[in-house]
């Protein structure tokens, strides 16, 4: 392939260790091992996509077989071995895609091939990409050869180089036979400088803010960053500088300042403007889940913006977004942000069960708009935006400066706000006199999972006010005691002691109910009325007993 026609990810692929960015520790370790002739039988490179796993594999193969040795590893004037390895046609360096060759038969073919020494190189090398895709039998077939590879008359040997993104799927027996190298995500600053240099080499005309967006989207992957840069350069058909707004349109990203404006309108209660902003974002092609994740990101920065500095190293926020968030964060209290966070997470879960996610997000925003103020213990701040926003929209009087504005009611708070006359009474003064009272309280508060555990898996040893003793039961949920303790503290405003006992407790409520039901059936079958029915209808069967 002509170099000019190559995509950037291939055109600028590293050819020596010093070309690899962001992995200096790994590069130095491998370089020194090869230089001192202390190489392992098998290398294993793991990490996310685009951080250099396959690139490392090929460079290691070249370093082991280069005729100029690792100290003078070929970069431009390639020796015969380096040239053939770079073009994937070296007879002694065999590259395999484990995603398409997963069976034990494929591995047996490799093992058979390993019996023959290298023809023109020092080492015979097998590079297996996405090695986690091999079957269990294929891995087992590799074990013996991995541990004791054949030695050849040339003085070299057999080397395996594995690459994977799913390290957990590789058996421990294989991992223990490999020298493992974990490749980290490339740091944003280092990746920015790299693609900035590539952009100059390609005579690209892209602003630094636009390049920072590429760095952010790539999430530490060099290949992703180069692919995005390639796309940006190809999209710029006219001789003008590509700005951040241009790349946002190209990549389907939206300006975070829209989200900050949306937050402001939520706080002042402007429903129409809030929905208009969201619909504008949605019409740009932004999916509801991406919108909510960006919503969470803004919440994070609103809470922690003071921990960051406004400088060119900030790759998540540009200067305009930084100033807007900094200005807004000073007017919002921490409790509000935490509740917003919880409510957004809940909505993200809801998206998995609704057919129209867009409508669900709109209802999420409307719910935020219609939340009333709540008082929180120990909270005295007032985050009203009355200096910069319209006082009429805030609907605040001068004598309510101590009120907390626009707090979110989560599900628990909704329950606590129910009138004392509705079922539960004052939730801080509830008295639980018996185990049955506790079960009924769970039912009243719709704690169905806790009620199920109490009825089905709890064998009561002792119950008294403030103390519950139950038998050890493996069927109990792992966090049962913690959950029950928290609920009892919430309902009674006092801590209860819940202990597990080796004593044999009572039968569970379900077992007692089943026994009582069985006894009722037996007693009913002894009655004259039941016998008269059987005499009339011989195939009749007692199914259920109801009390009038």
CATH number at residue 122: 3.40.50.300
Evaluate whether residue 417 is within a structural domain. no
In a shared domain, residues 266 and 311: yes
- Residue 548, pLDDT > 80, answer no
Confidence at 335, pLDDT banded by 50, 70, 90: confident
Residue 67 lies in a domain: yes
The H or E element containing residue 461 is strand 460-464
Is pTM, for the whole model, over 0.85?
Answer: no
Q: What's the chain's average pLDDT?
A: 80
Listed residue (185, 214, 184, 189) closest to 199, CA to CA:
214
Tell me how far apart the alpha carbons of residues 34 and 316 are, in angstroms, rounded to a whole number: 39
CATH code of 449's domain: 3.30.300
Per-residue pLDDT tens digits for 442-498: 888 888 888 888 888 888 888 888 888 888 777 787 788 888 888 888 888 888 888
Q: Is residue 420 part of a domain?
A: no
Is 430 inside any structural domain?
A: no
Query: pLDDT digit string (tens) for 12-38?
Result: 999 899 999 999 999 999 999 999 989
Exposed / middle / buried, residue 33 (Cβ in 10 Å: 0-12, 13-18, 19+) = middle
Q: Is the pLDDT of residue 82 over 80?
A: yes
pLDDT exceeds 80 at position 358? yes
Residue 435 Cα to chain centre, angstroms: 41
Pick the closest to residue 163 from 75, 57, 25 (CA basis).
Answer: 57
Same domain, 164 and 301: no
Structure-model confidence comparison of residues 313 and 55, the more confident one: 55
For the chain, give the percent of residues with pLDDT over 70: 84
Q: Is there a single domain that holds both residue 128 and residue 23?
A: yes
User: Does residue 121 lie within any of the structural domains?
Assistant: yes
Provide the token pair at 478.
């792992």
Show which of 136, 159, 182 is a domain's final residue: 182
| Token couple for 363 | 């209802």
pLDDT number for residue 529: 80
Identify whether residues 462 and 391 lie together within a single domain.
Answer: no
What are the tokens at 238?
A: 């006219």
Which residues are CB-neighbours of 143 under 8 A, at least 6 positions away? 173, 174, 177
Identify whether the C-beta of residue 316 lies closer than 8 Å to the C-beta of residue 294: no
Q: Among 216, 240, 269, 194, which residue's Cα sits nearest to residue 9? A: 194
Residue 408 domain flag? no
Write down which residue in 198, 226, 251 finishes a domain: 251
In the chain, DSSP finds a helix count (H) and a strand count (E) of 24, 8
Domain match, 312 and 358 both:
yes
pLDDT digits (tens, 9 = 90+) for 229-242: 998 888 776 667 88
- Residue 237 belongs to a domain with what CATH number? 1.10.8.60
Asked if the structure places residue 425 within a domain, the reply is no
Kindly tell me if the per-residue pLDDT of 72 is higher than 60. Answer: yes
Residue 161: band (very low, low, confident or very high) from pLDDT cuts 50, 70, 90? very high
63 in the same domain as 30: yes
State which residues form the domain around 533: 508-548
Buried b (16+ CB within 10 A) or exposed e, 432-457: beebeebbebbeebebeebbebbbeb
Q: Are 43 and 156 within one domain?
A: yes
pLDDT for 53: 92
Which SS3 state, helix, strand or coil, does residue 534 take?
Answer: helix
Looking at the structure, do residues 70 and 95 belong to the same domain, yes or no?
yes
- If one counts the domains in the chain, the total is 5
For residues 204 and 111, membership in a common domain is answered with no
Does residue 407 belong to any structural domain of this protein? no
Is there a single domain that holds both residue 175 and residue 194? no
For the CA atoms of 46, 52, 56, 58, the dihedral, rounded to the nearest 10 degrees, stands at 120
From CA 219, how far away is CA 215, in angstroms rounded? 7
Same domain, 225 and 275: no
Residues 269, 379, single domain; the answer is yes
Question: Residue 311: which CATH number?
Answer: 1.20.272.10
Residue 310 is predicted with a pLDDT of: 54
Backbone torsion region of residue 493, taken as left when φ is above 0, otherwise alpha when ψ lies between -120 and 50, otherwise beta: left
- Quote the CA–CA distance of 369 and 296 in Å, as a whole number: 17
Cα distances from 277 to residues 254, 265, 280, 298, in angstroms, run 11, 9, 5, 15
Domain boundary among 182, 209, 239: 182
* 85-134 per-position pLDDT tens digit: 888 888 889 999 888 888 888 888 888 888 888 888 888 999 999 999 99
């Amino acid at each position: 392939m002509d170099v000019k026609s190559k995509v950037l990810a291939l055109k600028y692929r590293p050819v020596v260790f010093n070309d690899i960015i962001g992995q200096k520790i790994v590069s130095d370790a491998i370089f020194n091992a090869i230089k001192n002739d202390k190489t392992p039988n098998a290398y294993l490179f793991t990490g996310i996509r685009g951080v250099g796993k396959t690139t490392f594999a090929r460079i290691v193969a070249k370093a082991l077989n280069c005729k100029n040795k690792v100290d003078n590893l070929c970069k431009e004037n390639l020796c015969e071995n380096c040239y053939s390895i770079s073009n994937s046609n070296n007879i002694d360096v065999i590259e395999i895609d484990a995603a398409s060759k997963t069976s034990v038969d494929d591995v047996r073919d490799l093992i058979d091939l390993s019996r023959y020494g290298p023809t023109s190189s020092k080492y015979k090398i097998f590079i297996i990409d996405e090695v986690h895709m091999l079957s269990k039998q294929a891995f087992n077939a590799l074990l013996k050869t991995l541990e004791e590879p054949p030695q050849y008359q040339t003085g070299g040997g057999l080397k395996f180089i594995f690459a994977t993104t799913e390290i957990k799927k590789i058996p421990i027996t294989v991992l223990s036979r490999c020298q493992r190298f974990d490749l980290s995500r490339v740091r944003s600053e280092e990746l920015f400088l790299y693609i900035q240099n590539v952009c100059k080499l390609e005579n690209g005309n892209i602003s630094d803010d636009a390049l920072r967006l590429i760095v952010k989207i790539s999430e530490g992957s060099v290949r992703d960053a180069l692919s995005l840069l390639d796309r940006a350069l190809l999209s710029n058909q006219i001789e003008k500088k590509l700005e951040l707004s241009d790349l946002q349109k190209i990549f389907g990203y939206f300006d975070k300042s829209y989200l900050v404006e949306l937050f402001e309108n939520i706080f002042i209660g402007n429903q129409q403007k809030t929905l208009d902003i969201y619909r504008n974002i949605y019409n740009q092609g932004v999916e509801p889940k991406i919108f909510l994740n960006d919503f969470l990101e803004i919440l994070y920065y609103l809470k922690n913006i003071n921990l960051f500095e406004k400088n060119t190293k900030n790759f998540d926020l540009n200067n305009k977004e930084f100033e807007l968030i900094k200005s807004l964060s000073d007017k919002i209290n921490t409790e509000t942000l935490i509740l917003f966070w919880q409510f957004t997470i809940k909505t993200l879960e809801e998206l998995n069960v609704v057919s129209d996610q867009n409508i669900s997000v709109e209802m999420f925003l409307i719910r935020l708009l219609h939340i009333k103020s709540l008082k929180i213990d120990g909270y005295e701040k007032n985050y009203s935006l009355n200096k910069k926003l319209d006082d009429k929209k805030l609907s605040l009087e001068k004598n309510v400066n101590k009120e907390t504005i626009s707090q979110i009611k989560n599900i628990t708070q909704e329950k606590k706000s129910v009138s004392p006359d509705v079922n539960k009474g004052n939730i801080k003064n509830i008295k639980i006199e018996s185990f049955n009272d506790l079960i009924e309280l769970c039912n009243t508060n719709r704690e169905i999972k806790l009620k199920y555990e109490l009825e089905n898996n709890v064998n009561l040893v002792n119950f008294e006010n403030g103390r519950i003793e139950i038998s050890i039961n493996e069927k109990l949920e792992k966090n049962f005691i913690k959950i029950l303790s928290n609920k009892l503290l919430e309902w009674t405003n006092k801590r209860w002691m819940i202990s597990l006992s080796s004593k044999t407790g009572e039968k569970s409520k379900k077992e007692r109910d089943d026994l009582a039901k069985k006894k009722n059936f037996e007693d009913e079958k002894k009655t004259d009325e039941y016998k008269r029915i059987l005499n009339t209808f011989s195939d009749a069967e007692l199914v259920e007993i109801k009390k009038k």
